[in-house]
Amino acid sequence: MSTLAITTIQSNLHWENKAANLALFEKKIRSIQENMEIVVLPEMFSTGFSMSPQLLAETMKGETVQWMKDTAAENNIILTGSVIIEENDNYFNRLIWMLPNGQYGYYDKRHRFAYAGEDEKYTAGTKRLIASVKGWKINVQVCYDLRFPVWSRQASLLPEEGQTGPEYDVLIYVANWPEQRSIAWKTLLVARAIENQCYVVGVNRVGNDGHNIYHSGDSMIVDPLGEILYHCNDEEDIFTIALDKTHLENVREKFPFWKDADRFTIDQ
């Protein structure tokens, strides 16, 4: 229970081509030799970061979600990444947390990227998702959420709330973050790890999208002190690491900064 295996897949994507992307990731996942527990794919991994949800959206019973169910079951993994979902006449950039038994949770991207018109096409989420795996608590978010630290801010739980200490241990961001703003991406991933005293996993795509916007990847894994454990840019890569719960607990015990955090609520 003291370790958690995280596998990141930094990949180019076929623009708005679901079948090609699902085949691509199926091949990549099957190629992994290391022990897998959680496999993380980029934002909108089946389509690329498209502003055409009316053409590409699926329901939760659609092809991509079914592919995630089948892949998670076949490989006995938790599989996560975001897809375009239509629900009640609204479109969502939805991160799905798929368990190997077919059960799932989901998180709808809170902060829509207005610079690219995402706010005009997609509905904002209102609730965070913190998943539980082997005694680890994992907060999952999507791309542009990274720029808004209040939404990811670690809360200090109190005994009357049934638990003491920080509310989560790992913060995951899936992204399609362009190379021209990669400094912000890399800096903020480290900042989120330091301020929340947690591991941070950021998984980005590489290559040009359908608008010829280049993505350098720069996927990273950062420890609770801000040390970069993994970083890869400008190429496709698959990386597996065992996160160490003992290291995390030692950092929080030696530097109990989380106890001094402000308590607050967020208006929805």
The pLDDT tens digits for 16-59 are 999 999 999 999 999 999 999 999 999 999 999 999 999 999 99
pLDDT digits (tens, 9 = 90+) for 203-241: 999 999 999 999 999 999 999 999 999 999 999 999 999
Do strands 214-222 and 206-208 pair parallel, antiparallel, or not at all (unpaired)?
antiparallel
Tell me the CA distances in angstroms from 204 to 22, 42, 153, 196, one per residue in order: 17, 5, 21, 21
Quick one: pLDDT at residue 259?
87
Counting residues of the chain whose pLDDT is more than 70, the rounded percentage is 96
In this structure, which long-range contacts are made by residues 243-248, counting pairs with CB atoms below 8 Å and at least 24 apart in sequence?
243/3, 243/4, 243/5, 243/6, 243/136, 243/170, 243/199, 244/2, 244/3, 245/1, 245/2, 245/3, 245/4, 245/135, 245/136, 245/169, 246/2, 247/223, 248/169, 248/197, 248/198, 248/199, 248/223, 248/224
Which structural domains are found in the chain, ordered by start?
Answer: 3-260 (3.60.110.10)
pTM: 0.96
Quick one: pLDDT at residue 262?
86
Quick one: pLDDT at residue 159?
57
Cβ–Cβ under 8 Å, residues 84 and 50: yes
How big is the CA angle at 127 (ends 115 and 176), to the nearest 5 degrees?
35
pLDDT over 60 at 88, yes or no = yes
pLDDT digits (tens, 9 = 90+) for 99-136: 999 999 999 999 999 999 999 999 999 999 999 999 99
Q: Nearest CA to 249 among 239, 240, 237, 258?
A: 258
Quickly state the pLDDT bin for 266 (edges 50, 70, 90). Answer: confident
First to last CA, the chain: 35
Active site residues: 43, 109, 143
pLDDT digits (tens, 9 = 90+) for 131-175: 999 999 999 999 999 999 999 999 876 655 556 789 999 999 999
Q: Where are the alpha helices (DSSP H) in 145-260?
A: 149-152, 182-196, 245-254
Quick one: pLDDT at residue 160?
59
Quick one: pLDDT at residue 163?
62
